[in-house]
Structure 1
Amino acid sequence: MDERLIPVEEHLVERMHVLVYNERSQMGAAAAEAAGQRIRDLQGKSQGPVRIVFAAAPSQNELYEGLVREQGIDWSRVHAFHMDEYIGLPAVAPQRFGNYLQERLFSRVNPGRIELLGRTGNIEEECRRYVALLNEAPIDIVCLGIGENGHIAFNDPPVADFADPLLVKSVELDEACRTQQVNDGCFASLDDVPVQALTLTVPALMAGHYLFAIVPGLAKRAALQAALHGPISTACPASVLRTHPAITLFTDRDAFSS
């Protein structure tokens, strides 16, 4: 392994493997190497597609830059999903998460199959459509982040349900979540941020065989500490990640506080 990708700290928090890096760039490169190796391993064991759910957020930028450079991945044998999408934005809006993924990753590696959320205007119909796609086969890998309010996907504290009977649902975004979208530079003001979205639920994310969480930056420190050391509770939805049997969390010094 490249010495630059060796973590400066390594922890086991319940079942979660936590790797801490000095720099955000090192964190992203290490996460891409680990995710890329997992994809290659899975492709070596099966002729079927590797089914991956991808998050869309600035926190994932370094991961996707690294995945574009990873060698030996047969992207034609990757079935790509994304995990959440705003309701009400025009199809061409740059803030749409599907457009982010197309620009940052999909258009550069050309997965064999891409399933974007939010393609139909009827919310109930779209949820049913996407659930059917998710149920075609198990999800192999989920690449996700943690929000400033502890959300995973758009499962904010008021709507997160660890035993949700649904795999995909519409939700109302809480103000902390919408404020983060402004802080991230995605929207000019809070009024511009949609109040509703579609999201994969917590059980849908936790059903992935392998989870890679990428959580950089000072703005994520409080949420990360709650996720790692607080009660496992929907008050911090990301806390449930500690119970997954095969999760690795990549973070940097700014976000991690021992």
Structure 2
Amino acid sequence: MSIEVIQLTPNIAAEIKGIDLRVFEKFQIDQIRKAFLEHGVIVFRDQFLSPEQHVNFAKSMGDVMVYGGYKPFDDLPTGMFRFANDGKEKTITEHWHFDGTYYDMPPAAGILAPQKIPAIGGDTMWSNQYVTYERLSDGMKKLLSGLWTECVSHRSSRKYNNELMSATQPAIRKHPETGRLSLNIGHPETCVQFVGMTEEESQPLIRHLHAQTHEPDNVYRHQWRLGDVVLWDNRCTMHYAIHDYGMAEREMYRMTILGDRPRGPLGQQPAE
């Protein structure tokens, strides 16, 4: 039986119906991957996965990434994160960002499943960076095609008391599966400067570009329900977790899929 793919906005996200992620066939995973590469964000409703089933689905999408430097959760499978509300002042995800850009090989994808949700609020938004790139002027595309950014784990290292990590990423990224180009400029506090430029020189352009990444017509806003599973492509979408629920309970389980070394628009890597 084929799955049903329902587009949710003109530029990003689709819902998939007709599948039980607890028991699935390879041909269904192939269909999910096709929709995932086309829409960037995939929503599944009424799944109610156990942690083990969540892991099993993640493994069907690629190799599981275990974040280095983070303390594992003893009661959860290897690679699974628990995110719980510890107050708005401590949140590090309430801004537009890619995950893990301070790793040489950032995540390819993330898979979230809520365990507890507030009565109202706590939505997550995603934006399509293919579209952001396509809307840039030809001159800006040309300028950025040869630029690389220094990405540093300032925010996460402060919160989790980890060592500072850093990596160099292309300003324009070529997707390893679709071949499409996307703007690859993360949050200015993480994406701190262009290689060969000072932070003072770089930040005005970085902030200008980051402001282009989330135009309202290029955003999908997800209202969580228990039983949801959301899969997203971290190589071409950014996301933003809205903290508008005070100290209400909000707990998410997350799996991460390992990515590859990002390449620039001509397929180049930093050392080339």
Normalising to structure 1: TM-score of the pair?
A: 0.28
The higher radius of gyration belongs to: 2
Specify which structure has the higher proportion of helix.
1
Normalising to structure 2: TM-score of the pair?
A: 0.27
